[in-house]
Amino acid sequence: MESLALSISLAQNDTPHAHCVLVRKSGSAPQSPGARLLVQRDGVMHGTIGGGCVEMEVRRLALNALRNGKAQLHVFRMDDDYGYDDGLICGGRVWVFIQPEPKRWLTSLQAAQRLQDAGEKGAWVLVTQGHEHSGDAFCVAEEDITPEPPEEWREALQEVSRRALQQDKTLYTSLREGIEVYIEPVQPQPVLVLVGAGHIAHALAPMASAAGFDVLVIDDRPSFANSERFPTASRCIVGDIAQSLQELPADSRTYIVIVTRGHRHDADALRVALHKPAAYVGMIGSKRKITVIYRDLLQRGEATLEQLANVHAPLGLDIGAETVGEIAVSILAELVAVRRGKLSGRINTQIASMMSLYDISNLSQ
């Protein structure tokens, strides 16, 4: 959930602001449901719901709402006067809910934050239309709903939350007659494990944090893996690289990027990473270096072609990157593409090409 920590902080500190959530869209639009914009009374904005004239209109309405205290759902067309001046003539429509009393959401947002921090799943549900309940919000966990909803809503809230989690996407639906709700899955943050704390990891870490990854750094050099060099990382682990990676839990929301200082460390880390149930394993290096590592793993019986076919190596999208910053951008682009389900078919083709060039296929037989 975007802007979650900031919204909680502003509400706890009694900073007057309106919390604006894009809850629904039809057709083409710059942002998708879940985008958030926080508008303070002095006009300062945090986050975005797409920019342009629509965002400025949302800001105006949010400032009005801060004066009159009225929470309301607004709809904007992207092919009318809101979008034309800024070129945002996407042709779609967006629905934005503006809550000028975000303390009403504080309990549910704090519950969602606790779920994320604990690595657990749930859903955040906002009542967008529902008479006296319009603007109410709930965090639905497996066995709990915070705050306590009307008893007759409980079963329906749990059902729509299960649907959103199963589909892993936001939903907009009717809870019951006259009651419309927006449902946003609450998922643990994807975890990016940077194996190696050199120049590329140093450039990649802040960008990955900004893109929503929980960044962890592993290196055997305390002068490299520390919070001073990696202020956006939630954890820096100093120790034997392969052993530290081995001891680190991983699941389908884990992304492993191997960018150590040398061939041996890369190979040792890859040997461990191949057996992790991670969403992504990538390793830096030339095709020649990668092939040498693959050959060694196959000869030792420590990897199969099927496992190696799932490794992104050389890692990063091919954008012609040369500098450290460009390489970091290419890696982050690939991570986001995998996270959003936009990257498929590339890796098997790549390893097939390498097998042909270097004849490593026979080594697995």
Written as one string, the DSSP assignment of 115-174 is HHHTT--EEEEEEEE-GGGTT-EEEE-SS-EESPPPGGGHHHHHHHHHHHHHHTS-EEEE
- How far apart are the C-alpha atoms of 255 and 259, rounded to whole Å? 13
Contact 309, 344 (CB under 8 A): no
Q: Which long-range contacts (CB under 8 A, 24 or more apart) does 298-302 make?
A: 298/360, 298/363, 298/364, 299/363, 302/271, 302/274
For residues 277 and 241, state if they share a domain. Answer: yes
226 and 331 inside one domain: yes
* Six-digit token string for 175: 């809870």
Residues 155 and 257 in one domain: no
Residue 135 φ then ψ, to 5°: 95, -5
Sheet of 311-312: strand order equals 235-238, 214-219, 191-195, 254-258, 280-283, 311-312
Per-residue model confidence (pLDDT) at position 18 = 96
| C-beta of residue 217 within 8 angstroms of C-beta of residue 231 | no
Classify 314 in phi/psi space as left (phi over 0), alpha (psi -120 to 50) or beta: beta
- Report the number of distinct structural domains present in the chain: 3
Angle at 115 (CA atoms; ends 114, 120), nearest 5 degrees: 150
Q: What is the pLDDT of residues 283-293, one digit of tens each?
A: 999 988 999 99
Residues 6+ apart with CB under 8 A from 42: none
**SS3 call for 295:** helix
Same domain, 283 and 215: yes
Give 126's strand partners.
Answer: 137, 182
- Residue 300 and residue 235 share a domain: yes
- What pLDDT score does 73 carry? 97
Q: What is the DSSP letter of 310?
A: T
Are 19 and 30 members of one domain? yes
Q: Give me the pLDDT at residue 79, please.
A: 63
- Choose the final residue of a domain: 186, 218, 241: 186
Same-domain check for residues 181 and 276: no
The pLDDT score that the predictor gives to residue 190 is: 95
Residue 36: predicted pLDDT? 95
Q: Which of 101, 117, 152 is the last residue of a domain?
A: 101
Phi, then psi, of 346 in degrees rounded to 5: -75, -40
Q: What tens digit of pLDDT does each residue of 226-263 get?
A: 999 999 999 999 999 999 999 999 999 999 999 999 99
| Domain CATH code at residue 259 | 3.40.50.720
Q: Are residues 205 and 298 in the same domain?
A: yes
Q: In the listed set 137, 155, 186, which residue is the last one of a domain according to the structure?
A: 186
Do 148 and 227 fall within a single domain?
A: no
> Do 175 and 67 share a structural domain?
no
Judgement on whether residues 125 and 251 belong to the same structural domain of the protein: no
* CA 197 centroid distance within chain: 22
Residues 338 and 305 in one domain: yes
Mean pLDDT of successive 10-residue stretches along the chain, which has 365 residues: 83 94 89 94 93 91 96 85 49 91 95 92 96 93 94 95 94 93 95 98 97 97 98 98 97 96 95 97 93 92 92 94 97 96 62 55 51
Radius of gyration of the chain (CA): 24
pLDDT of residue 86: 47
Burial of 178 per CB tally in 10 Å (0-12, 13-18, 19+) = exposed
Are 106 and 33 spatial neighbours (Cβ–Cβ below 8 Å)?
Answer: no
* Strands 214-219, 235-238: pairing kind: parallel
> In one letter, which amino acid is 26?
S
Domain hosting 302: range is 191-364
